[in-house]
Homo-oligomer: A and B are copies of this chain.
Amino acid sequence: MFTGLSAFPLTPMNETAIDEAAFVRIIERLADAKVHSIGALGSTGSYMYLTREERKRVAQLAVENANGVPVMVGIGALRTRDVLHYAEDAQQSGVSAVLLAPVSYQPLTEREVFSLYETVARSLTVPLCIYDNPRVTHFNFSDRLIGEIAQLPQVGGIKIPPVSSDPAEARARVDKLRSLVPSHVKIGISGDFAAAAGLNAGCDTWYSVLGGLFPKTCLPIIHAAQTGDTAEIVRLSDRLEPVWDLFRQHGGLRVIAAAAELLGCAPSPNLPQPIQPLDEAARQQLDDILQQLELNA
């Protein structure tokens, strides 16, 4: 479950409802490309902006249209009560795993975050992936806490934030994590611009925003990782630098939402307000980049 390319699709929507047809089209792209797993309702899937019913429907649509590719869904919420509901719904929808971030409004203590994972893990029959993303959760895991949570029986993976672009530092970080978690717990990189660094440092998984819309562009990077071709990983990632640059400037979500429009996969706008689409200049820049990189299909 927690190895290879885990593709994180957009959930296209308007202010009234999910665009189910557009979502299914995106899932079908991922199933056709045979990604290793689909991470529906991730940050790119705007899970935090959806109601319980909407999340349930998205999980069902993902599972039904994944053509056997394992589906993981995000179950994070500010309140433990809601996380437990989302976990139950996700399991009933037939997902293969759940992804849990310690989302916060009031800053959380380590004791509180541990208790969240402990309570939720106890309620699960499918594996859980720890979602470490301080950019959106505003919670910083200590190494000690990651080690403790990773011992919980249900934990199968951890999704980590970008590692250093310095290979020695990146390797040291991943090695350090390996020493903290049980050997069956897989380590995956997120933050697409850091994927090459993470994979070359020994990560098992790439949790990918770009892969959620352009799986055929991202799979060769994973294949290079599987054969240990570190130079090829770097070459393929460097080629995508103009995309990574836009991700850094505008956030991956706004860029991938615009790319989905440009590809005809989703209507415009498709993000939950107050989040707004890219402005016209950035959208034009993206369009040019997609054409130059031959990503426009």
User: Pick the contact of A276 from B49, B102, B109, B275 — CB < 8 Å?
Assistant: B109
Q: How many copies does the complex hold?
A: 2
A145 contacts the other chain (Cβ, under 8 Å)?
no
A174 contacts the other chain (Cβ, under 8 Å)?
no
Cα-based distance from A189 to B256 in the complex (angstroms): 40
| Nearest CB in chain B: distance from A167 CB, A | 28
Cα-based distance from A4 to B243 in the complex (angstroms): 52
A226 contacts the other chain (Cβ, under 8 Å)?
no
| Nearest CB in chain B: distance from A90 CB, A | 19
Q: Are A107 and B80 touching (Cβ within 8 A)?
A: no
A43 contacts the other chain (Cβ, under 8 Å)?
yes
Q: Are A48 and B273 touching (Cβ within 8 A)?
A: no
Q: Are A275 and B106 touching (Cβ within 8 A)?
A: yes
Q: Are A78 and B276 touching (Cβ within 8 A)?
A: no
In chain A, positions 44-61 with a C-beta closer than 8 Å to chain B are 48-49
Given A78-B49, A106-B136, A138-B138: A115 touches B274 (CB 8 Å cut-off)? yes
A253 contacts the other chain (Cβ, under 8 Å)?
yes
Q: Are B105 and A274 touching (Cβ within 8 A)?
A: no
Q: Type the 1/0 row for A252-266, where 1 means its CB is closer than 8 Å to any CB of B.
A: 010000000000000
Q: Type the 1/0 row for A106-122, where 1 means its CB is closer than 8 Å to any CB of B.
A: 11110111011001000
Cα-based distance from A251 to B108 in the complex (angstroms): 10
The winner among A115, A138, A275 for most chain B CB atoms within 10 A is: A275
Residues in B neighbouring A108, C-beta threshold 8 A: 274-275
Which residue on chain B has the smallest CB distance to residue A48?
B105
Residues in B neighbouring A103, C-beta threshold 8 A: 105
Cα-based distance from A172 to B15 in the complex (angstroms): 42
A135 contacts the other chain (Cβ, under 8 Å)?
yes
Residues in B neighbouring A253, C-beta threshold 8 A: 106
Q: Are A107 and B43 touching (Cβ within 8 A)?
A: no
